[in-house]
Chain A
Amino acid sequence: MNSQQPVVRVHDLVKRYGQRAVVDGASFEIARGETFALLGPNGAGKSTTIEILEGYRDRSGGLAEVLGTDPGKGGLDWKRRLGIVLQSSGETGNATVREQLRHFARFYPNPRDVEEVIAAVGLEQHAAQMIKKLSGGQRRRVDVALGIIGRPELLFLDEPTTGFDPEARRRFWDLIRSLKAEGTSILLTTHYLDEAAQLADRAGVIAGGRIVALGAVHSLGGEDAWTPVVRWREGEGAHERMHEHRTTTPGAVVAALQSRLGVEPDGLEVVRPSLEDVYLGLIGAASTEPSTTTDQEVPA
């Protein structure tokens, strides 16, 4: 397959249940070797989209292509090249971690080494334990291990780190980076924006079944969304006000403020919008009318 061809191509994707469109014209592409994050609130259409691409759901309209194949028609050869980590797993788990991985490794033509995968997800201490005896976070790591055991070209991760402690999350991030270094393409959905910022080359924000922003994680929403804000307090007694000024040159604003007041400005801060601020702005704008204000005064 041509390495220039995207591994995932979605154009004007629609999924309707009765009259209700859960996915309503989503379009994006994932290049080979890229890690792409799909962000969005619950019910925005993230999981529906990913499950259409995994072949679990039929689409109502639009184009979907995964590794050059229509996911609704993907056969065993197609599945051999995919790794899927579903959002939830509630299996009985009457197998040990090692048994389960050895068993699943047999399904694939060129699987990874079982012990290496166990180590990569940090379950060395639990390899001989029944999966049903593991904690939720540990079971989630088994899910991830099962997703990568077949050495997939494209890995789907649907909220992979739910239930992880911070240490486990760091290790998971390292694992994903190493998969990426090997050339694995990854489609990730997550609630954790820091995770997307850490891992994804690009992200799409989905809200109301549409992609409302698409691009590198640190340029989502366009330049304006990332403009720093200078804040300070000014005035006496009842006239005291919090001032806010959005500017691309916060240094100059602070210098001008300092020379105008002649004293150290009260409560001065320069804030760069975090990914979370930008994200909340994006999904908020998708559900309500956008309110773009560049300079405003708010009561302290």
Chain B
Amino acid sequence: MTAHTASARPLQHPNPLALGIARIGYEVRAYFRQPDSVFFTFLFPVLLLTIFATAFGEQEYGRDAAGDPIGAAAYYLPSMLAAGILLSGLQNLAIDIAVERGDGTLKRLAGTPLPVVSYFIGKLGQVLVTGAAQAVLLIAVAAIAFRVPLPASPEAWLTVLWVFLLGVLTSAVLGIALSRVPRSGKTATAVVIPIVLVLQFVSGVYLQFSLLPEWLQNVANVFPVAWAAHGMRAALLPDTLAVLEQGGEWNLAGVAIVSAAWLVGGLVLCALTFRWIRKDT
């Protein structure tokens, strides 16, 4: 019966985009049901901002145009936004997909007619949704709990928006590519966390970027994390702080070029290397 009805009338094939959007909802729900992803990926930057703002509360990081001091919370907010981009995208997906490859989730999906592109839309959408919620939470905590003055100009927020979108997509795509590296789900954390930590340190997420030696700044500037932090500083910090940056000014073109290059490279790498399962191992 099944066979005859199937061949007798034309059936609506589910559209890959609609399936991708359905997967976003599914992925976001699964994300928030996992306590370790909620803590180590979602809440971690908020926790760090709280620690920095409390520990270095007395410190002054410069003065704005009106001569008011810039505190630790204000200074670290752009860095924490960049950390969030890295954690929500790269760390989250690299571990998540490696675990899914190890525990049979991908094998099961491989046996269904789910298009790979729908799976990717689901993952990227999950990163976008959770990363945006995290950024909003960070900004809200900074403004409400630590009274960080936020910029009033729409241009500044537009910059925050595109630096976030470009950064988080690049980070997510690189996470998908990196998920191929761990040989099993169990080793995923051990492979991914050190990479993420080192990237954060050299990119001036935890340390003041302007205090790092110039050669290290140059190394960090090869990677998109330092640029995401730079872009966020350009949007959120007063222009009086631009003198601390390399070249003495904000370089938004640099943010766009380096991030876009990594995004394109990451997409090519994913297209070439992504497989549902490792065949015959």
Contacts and interface: CB of A to CB of B under 8 A. Distances in A.
Interface of B: 1-7, 11-14, 19, 22-23, 26, 29-30, 33-34, 99-100, 103-105, 107-108, 110-115, 277, 279-280
Given A89-B104, A183-B2, A150 B14 contact: no
B30 A92 contact: yes
A181 B12 CA distance: 25
A106 interface: yes
A107 B14 contact: yes
Given A91-B108, A106-B22, A151 B2 contact: yes
A86 B277 CA distance: 14
A76 B104 contact: no
Nearest to A84: B111
A139 to B, nearest CB: 11
A82 B107 CA distance: 14
A106 B19 contact: yes
B interface, over-half SS: helix
A110 interface: yes
A161 interface: no
Given A92-B105, A95-B30, A106-B22, A79 B111 contact: yes
A79 B1 contact: no
* Chain A interface bracket (under 10, 10 to 19, 20 to 34, 35 or more): 35 or more
Contact of B279 (A56, A91, A183): A56
Interface in A86-119: 86, 88-92, 94-95, 99, 103-104, 106-110
A109 B5 CA distance: 12
A151 B101 CA distance: 26
Contacts, number: 98
A64 to B, nearest CB: 15
Contacts of B2: 151-153, 182-184
Contact of B19 (A57, A95, A107): A107
20 contacts: A3-B3, A17-B280, A32-B3, A55-B111, A79-B113, A80-B13, A86-B111, A89-B108, A90-B103, A94-B29, A95-B29, A106-B14, A107-B14, A107-B113, A109-B12, A110-B6, A130-B33, A152-B2, A153-B6, A182-B1
Contact of B99 (A56, A92, A99, A152): A92
A76 B34 contact: no
Given A1-B7, A182-B1, A108 B22 contact: no
Scoring A3, A58, A110, A184 by chain B CB atoms within 10 A of each residue's CB, the highest score goes to A110
B28 to A, nearest CB: 11
Given A94-B29, A94-B34, A110-B6, A150 B1 contact: no
Given A91-B103, A130-B33, 10 more contacts: A1-B3, A56-B110, A56-B279, A57-B279, A57-B280, A79-B113, A81-B6, A86-B104, A92-B34, A99-B26
Interface of A: 1, 3, 17, 32, 54-58, 76-77, 79-82, 84, 86, 88-92, 94-95, 99, 103-104, 106-110, 130, 146, 150-153, 182-184
A56 B115 contact: no
Given A57-B279, A57-B280, A108 B113 contact: yes
A182 B33 CA distance: 38
Contacts of A94: 29-30, 33-34
Which of A57, A107, A182 has the most chain B CB within a 10 Å cutoff? Answer: A107
A56 B277 contact: yes
Nearest to B12: A109
Contacts of B99: 92
Given A88-B104, A107-B14, A109-B11, A54 B111 contact: yes
A140 to B, nearest CB: 13
Contact of B3 (A77, A103, A183): A183
Contacts of B113: 76-77, 79-80, 107-108, 150
Contacts of B33: 94, 130
Contacts of B114: 107
B77 to A, nearest CB: 31
A90 B104 contact: yes
